Amino acid sequence: MNAYVFTFCGTLCHALPSGALYLPDQNLLCVSDLHLGKSDRIARRSGVMLPPYEVIATLDKLAEDLAATDARQVICLGDSFDDLAAADSLDEAMRLRLTSLQAGRDWIWVEGNHDPGPVDLGGSHLAQVQIGPLTFRHIATQAQAEISGHYHPKFRLAGRSRPAFVLDRDRMILPAYGAYTGGLDCTQPVIRQHFGPTAHAILTGRKAIVVPLP
């Protein structure tokens, strides 16, 4: 696989080129900022009707990662839905698709700023999750051994900007996994300030590529 393998706070990690984080010892897959139902929310609010395919595109990608890793535990790290109404209006086919992905897996929805309440879908709904030394929550705090999302970090290399993991010794921010997500360059202060001088970015794409963060 084209993953980047490293150790974070004593835990073996695979940064997958798709933007998912896989912990082999825990057999756990973590994805952040799926923003399912984004097209629905935009249509409702502005009348602009984007191609309503971000749910299937995102779930197709997730299904591939789950098939490749056979993870038994899944953490969706917040902003899994573009808002709670969008979660409610998921159509039947997509609900079935999600249910089939959830079957046989321990599935956790971590709450995000876009989806702060429980959703009417399988799995448990939590504000944050503790796995061994690691804390999973949506928005980064000052805590150690913390894995979060929210900022949609990207990094520019050789003229191309790609969604990227950003990490240092103490914390890691995951890229947005959803099909309809933009991003923010991780050298911007709002992201960079969370990290010490020796931070790294891991670019997604065909192959995960690690670079030092300036």
Which of 68, 84, 131, 210 is the binder for other proteins (CB under 8 A)? 210
Which parts of 15-54 interact with other proteins (CB under 8 A)?
A: 39-40, 43-44, 46-54
48 token code pair:
């602009």
Which of 32, 69, 128, 181 is the binder for other proteins (CB under 8 A)? 181
Which parts of 50-79 interact with other proteins (CB under 8 A)?
A: 50-54, 56-57
Which of 16, 23, 183, 195 is the binder for other proteins (CB under 8 A)? 183
211, 152, 112, 168: CA torsion to nearest 10: 20
Alpha-helical runs (H) found in the chain: 38-46, 54-69, 84-88, 92-102, 189-192
Half-sphere exposure of 110 (CA within 13 A, CB side): 22
Q: Which residues pair with 4 in a beta bridge?
A: 15
89 binds other proteins (CB under 8 A): yes
- Closest by CA position to 37, among listed 102, 101, 104, 112: 112
Cα separation, 72 vs 66, in Å, equals: 9
189 binds other proteins (CB under 8 A): no
Q: How far are the Cα atoms of 57, 80, 159, 212 from residue 75, in angstroms, in the given order?
A: 19, 10, 32, 27
What is the per-residue binding string for other proteins in 126-155, x denoting contact by CB under 8 A? -------------------------xx---
CB of 9 to other proteins, least distance (A): 19
7 binds other proteins (CB under 8 A): no
For residues 126 and 210, which CB has a smaller minimum distance to other proteins in the complex?
210
96 binds other proteins (CB under 8 A): no
CB of 198 to other proteins, least distance (A): 8
Cα separation, 34 vs 56, in Å, equals: 11
The contact set with other proteins (CB under 8 A) reads 39-40, 43-44, 46-54, 56-57, 89, 91, 151-152, 157-160, 176, 179-184, 198, 203, 205-207, 209-212
